[in-house]
Amino acid sequence: MVSEKNKAYPRGLIFAALILFIALGAGLYFLLHSHAEEHKREKIAELQAALDYKMAQIDHWIKAQSANASLISDSPFLGQAVQRWRENPGDVKLRASIRSRLNGWQEHFGYSDVLLADQNGNILLEADGTVDVLSPETKAYLQKALAEGKHLLADFYMCTVHNTPHIDVIAPINTGARGKAGKSAVILRVSPGDYLYPLMKNNAFQGLTFETLLIRRDGDSVLFLNDVRFAQDAALKLKISLSEKDVPAVRAVLEGRTVGEGRDYRGQKVLAVTGALARSSWFMVAKIDLQEVNDANRANALIWSLAALLIFAGSVSVLSILFLNQRKDYFKKLYALENERQALVKHFDYLTKYANDIIFLIDDSLKVAEINDRALDIYGYTREEFIGMEADRLRADDQKALFKTQMSQLVLQKGLIYETMHRRQDGTTFPVEISARSIEIEGKKYLQAIVRDITERRLFEQKIQERNEELESANQELLAAEEELRQSNEKLESNYAELESANVELKSAEEGLQHNLEEIQITKKRYTELFQGINSGVAVYRAVDDGNDFVFVDFNRAGQRIEKTSADQVIGRKVTEVFPGIKPMGLLEVFQRVWRTGKAEQHPVSVYQDEHLTGWRENYVYKLPDGEVVSIYDDMTEIKQVEESLKASETRYRRLFESAKDGILILNADSGIIDDANPFIKDLLGYPREELIGKELWEIGLFRDIVASRDSFMELQKKGYVRYEDLPLVTKNGLKKEVEFVSNVYPVGDHNVVQCNIRDITQRKLAEVKLRESEISYRTLADSGQALVWTAGTDKLCNYFNKVWLKFTGRPLEQELGNGWAEGVHPDDLQYCLEIYTNAFDRREPFSMEYRLRRHDGEYRWLRDDGSPRYNGAGEFVGYIGHCLDITGHKQAEEQIKDSLKEKEILLKEIHHRVKNNLQIIVSLLNLQTGYVEDPRYKKMFLESQNRVRSMALVHEKLYQSKGLAGIDFSEYVKGLMHELYLSYGITQGDVELTTDIMEDKIPVDIAIPCGLIVNELATNSIKYAFKDPQRKGKIKISFKKDAAGICTLEMSDNGPGISEEVVLKNSPTLGLQLVDSLAGQLDAEIKMTNDGGTRVTIKFKA
């Protein structure tokens, strides 16, 4: 007979199933809602990325157009040529030269057309010859640019003459009249269909309805500037009223940067992101249909609903089975006892299946009674070896002594959590955290222990320690900077002492001269030795022109050294001729007063400057009885530089102290009294500086637990360094913060100070949590990417394969672990593969190898396997990690082109791709930066820098184009280099004729690069300075020869007025000639510069 309890049990089962169904339904709703919101946020992020990318591309394009226009407007050659041609329209040669420039710009910059027009809109010249008349819109923009005298980027407009959309870049021509814009302009015509429209249609964003729109405000409407995806012929025609504020395009014009839902030009609901383009009146919209976003959510909802139904059905089935089993065994007591045993086994089976931690059951004799499967994986023992094993065998040797004490404490307290070291069967050890408690099963007492491997946590703690050490290193660098400042100060004091000593000696010598004039002839030799041997400069002058000027009578060696001249070059010459800067310096007036009054004067430290010399001088001037004036002076330049360095160093330190985002306290090392505190202390702890200055450290409440007594402070004085990590402090306002507190003692002047650095690590603690989350994300990423990822332990056996690997091979993880993965390697590749892997593993070196691996369908695919050694935070080797990529397609292509393109492939990757393109990027960046520079001098500097980089890039381009790698054809290289220079300065062969005489043999790259830079600098100087006469045609000749002795001769000449004979390469005021001298030094070359019908530079060196 069944009891009432047993009759009611089915109703409880039904109630439990109902509760489970409700819980699953609620969980499914919140899961789907959360997933939909997350999917929407991801789509918004993708739209934002696509919008920002295209806005950056258009902004880059606008800057490039501005830079190109500036280059044309600033070209003096074009302005002079156009002015001469307009004065003489019949000059066919000059007309052809200007047209050549227009064609060059069209080809070089990629414009659809380039025109030259006057202020009335008449076309004077055109590159293509297809345009006869300018539209009214173009004329309006042209007249605006000429009126303002600066280049102009026209907006989108529909040309009424050609009925096509246009964008024009208008560059007024500089006629040379002190930069005033002339009455002509170059029009660079841009077809939006060549760049902007394809850019807008290029959909890197994956979506069937995604598109980007370029728009602007047009009165009370929004005008679409590009063709849209779902409407034909919309560019500059489609408009939407500003009153329709639910349209993203309207929100973009009214608000700029927006994110949200709305209706597009079709009336469809969309998800959109908008933004405003800088330096233009344009706006951009990136959008996707909301229905496409929701379709993905509906598919996910269906999958999750099916999964929930399966879980519910499975749960009901499990509950039904449990009910039947309980009812069947209800009246069987002995069988019930066995059932309890089975329940225990099922309990551990459950833990085995789902727990990531190790679980032990230990009997009262401290032997293992039961374990889960995780323990078998971690320790390497079999279940039979585990059962009955004494538990202390799992302890590391240095931890066994604590085992019995901890077990006694566990029994006494009924539970215990502690950390220790365990040992695997192979003898390796690892740190663990154990949570143990005492339990009773069938009247028998057991100890249940949950063991967690905390190796990763220890590694994380090690990373935190390393970060702390980096911070400590930065602090030590700051201390080193302070020490450097102190040493500089001592050096300056030493220099001042030497200077004072020299002044005393000078005054002593003066007194001796004044009181012993009668002995001058007798002591002439001694005077001469003193005069020539003194470290200060001494000059003797005689007044001329009634004291308006002074002539050198004598000049000692120290003065000659300081002024970099000789006595022969100055004696007998007027001081204002030799040193013209003496007058603005004020020293000439001192000479005149001393000569007239006879009273000695000291001229304070002042700067002397002329076109040859610059330096600081301190002069002491007095008059001799015979009327001559003597000036004793010292070169104070080095001392001034040291003073400036000291001031800069003090300023840097003070700025670091004042702007540091750590709280800093400076204490007297003897008394512990606070001498200084930086402003951040108040932000960090709430104590104003005034409340801290003059108090002892332990008087402040928040430090009572840190420096509890003077004994603690004395310990700091003794050790010189104290550090507290993760220190909880309470601010003046009662706010709790976790900080890092570091104190160290160092000398300042004649006493020691204590610097206390207090860093708020609250955010760092939050970052640690995020780091843990990122590690979980990394594991998820490894399974969601395309790479096959594996790891191996120190025993060379693989212990992990990601899901991509397992999906590729079609084998379970258990079959791949250890050396099981090698079963899928092609037999022909296995030995090679294992040798590479083993040799790299033994040497702890990274490796890369290629082999064939069997895919799940039986096909062998080529993989590239890259492996690297792994180390923990303590620097200990813990195994290898590697990833594989399927390169079958690459291998197939490689086999087809390997024989014919092997050398070209290496060159393309290593030289052309990495070097030439990078140098070209630098040229582009300099070109863009030029657009922001208004000063013509700086524009020329940027242009010269671009030409220097182009000269180096051209070497790699020629090397790539050559059949071999031994060298380049220097003749072709020079012609290409000069072609680029001609384009940069807007000239042609008709303006400056180029003649070359260069040997046919190729020259190595290490010679070609410096020689190319020298040619670039010298040719640039000739173009800029040699051809000022517009009536005379310029000529440049370049030759390069090599004789039988291996001596190379590079010679350049022009037919200009010649360079000044006073120019010396080593001390040249221009960067170009200094660079020529430096490059010649790299070649160990002899350089000679002469004026022979122009400037001629000859450079000889051993190849």
Q: What is the pLDDT of residue 808?
A: 93
Asked if the 897-1102 domain carries CATH number 3.30.565.10, the reply is: yes
pLDDT at 798: 94
Lowest mean pLDDT among 208-212, 543-547, 1035-1039: 208-212
Residue-wise DSSP of 604-629: EEEEEE-SS-EEEEEEEEEE-TTS-E
pLDDT value at 811 more than 90: yes
855 confidence band (pLDDT: 50, 70, 90)? very high
Mean pLDDT of 529-551: 86
Instruction: State mean pLDDT over 792-820.
Output: 92
pLDDT grade, residue 335 (50/70/90)?
low
pLDDT of residue 593: 93
Residue that wins the pLDDT comparison between 4 and 142: 142
Q: Higher confidence at residue 495 or residue 52?
A: 52
Task: Give the CATH architecture of domain 197-293.
Answer: 2-Layer Sandwich (3.30)
Which pLDDT belongs to residue 109?
75
CATH code that applies to domain 785-885: 3.30.450.20
Q: What percent of the chain has pLDDT over 70?
A: 83
Average pLDDT over residues 321-339: 60
Question: Distance between CA atoms of 629 and 551, rounded to whole angstroms?
Answer: 10
How does pLDDT run across 452-472, given as a tens digit for each residue? 888 888 887 788 788 778 778
pLDDT of 73 above 70:
yes
CA nearest 57: which of 200, 189, 256, 188?
Answer: 200
Q: Residue 971 pLDDT more than 80?
A: yes
In CATH terms, are 785-885 and 897-1102 the same topology?
no
Highest-confidence segment of 24-28, 68-72, 140-144: 140-144
Mean pLDDT of the 402-427 span: 86
pLDDT of residue 699: 67
Give the percent of the chain with pLDDT over 90. 17
Say if residue 1029's pLDDT is above 80.
no
Query: How high is the pLDDT of residue 344?
Result: 58
Q: What is the pLDDT of residues 269-327, one digit of tens each?
A: 999 999 998 878 899 999 888 888 887 677 777 777 777 777 767 776 776 776 666 66
Sign for the CA dihedral angle at 87, 92, 93, 94 comes to positive
DSSP lists the bridge partners of residue 453 as 432
Between residues 690 and 816, the one the model is more confident about: 816
CA 322, CA 306: separation in Å to the nearest integer?
A: 24
Q: Answer whether residue 707 shows pLDDT above 50.
A: no
- Which pLDDT does position 518 carry in this prediction? 55
pLDDT at 139 over 80: yes
Region 622-627: mean pLDDT is 88
Instruction: Give the end-to-end CA distance of the chain in Å, rounded to a whole number.
Output: 114
Strand order in the sheet with 798-801: 798-801, 788-792, 877-886, 860-871, 847-854
Write out the DSSP string of 811-828.
Answer: --HHHHTBTGGGGGB-HH
Q: Tell me: pLDDT of 13 over 70.
A: no
Which of the given ranges, 122-136, 141-155, 796-810, has the highest pLDDT on average?
796-810
pLDDT (0 to 100) of residue 338 = 60
Burial of 835 (0-12, 13-18, 19+ CB in 10 A): exposed
Residue 61 has pLDDT above 60, yes or no: yes
pLDDT tens digits, one per residue of 140-168: 888 888 888 888 888 888 777 667 788 88
Whether 180 has a pLDDT exceeding 50, the answer reads no
Strand ranges in 734-859 using DSSP code E only, listed in sequence order: 736-748, 751-760, 788-792, 798-801, 847-854
* CATH of 359-453 given 3.60.40.10, 3.30.565.10, 2.10.10.90, 3.30.450.20: 3.30.450.20
Residue 4, pLDDT above cutoff 50: no
DSSP calls for 1034-1090: EEEEEEEEE-TTSEEEEEEEESSS---TT--STT-SSHHHHHHHHHHHHTT-EEEEE
Instruction: pLDDT band for 512, please (50, 70, 90 cuts).
Output: low
- To the nearest 10 degrees (0 to 180), the angle between helices 455-515 and 637-659 is 150
Confidence of residue 342 (pLDDT cuts 50, 70, 90): low
- Return the structure tokens found at 599: 């009273």
Q: Check residue 1 and give its pLDDT.
A: 39
Mean pLDDT of 770-780: 68
What's the pLDDT tens digit per position in 197-241? 777 777 655 678 888 899 999 899 999 988 888 888 888 889 999
Return the H-helix or E-strand segment holding 482.
Answer: helix 455-515
Instruction: Kindly indicate the confidence band of residue 759, based on its pLDDT and cuts at 50, 70 and 90.
Output: confident
- Using the CB atoms, write b or e for 20-59: b if 16+ within 10 Å: eeeebeeebeeebeeebeeebeebbebbeebbebbbeebe
- DSSP type of residue 359: E
Domain limits of the chain? 197-293, 359-453, 497-643, 660-766, 785-885, 897-1102
224 touches 234 (CB < 8 A): yes
Beta bridge partners of 1096: 1053, 1090
CATH fold of 497-643 reads Beta-Lactamase (3.30.450)
Highest mean pLDDT of the ranges 318-322, 961-965, 1050-1054: 1050-1054
Mean pLDDT of the residues in the chain: 80
Instruction: Give the residue among 305, 227, 230 at the shortest CA–CA distance from 265.
Output: 230
- Give the C-alpha separation, 163 to 236, whole Å: 11
pLDDT at 402: 85
Q: Which CATH architecture has domain 660-766?
A: 2-Layer Sandwich (3.30)
Q: Structure pTM?
A: 0.35
The pLDDT of residue 1044 is 87
pLDDT digits 0-9 by tens, 1072-1093: 778 888 888 888 889 888 887 7
* Average confidence (pLDDT) over 614-636: 89
Residue with tokens 């993760």, as numbered in its chain: 726
The pLDDT assigned to 5 comes to 42
pLDDT of residue 347: 59
Mean pLDDT of 966-995: 83
Looking at the predicted structure, is the pLDDT value of residue 914 above 60?
no
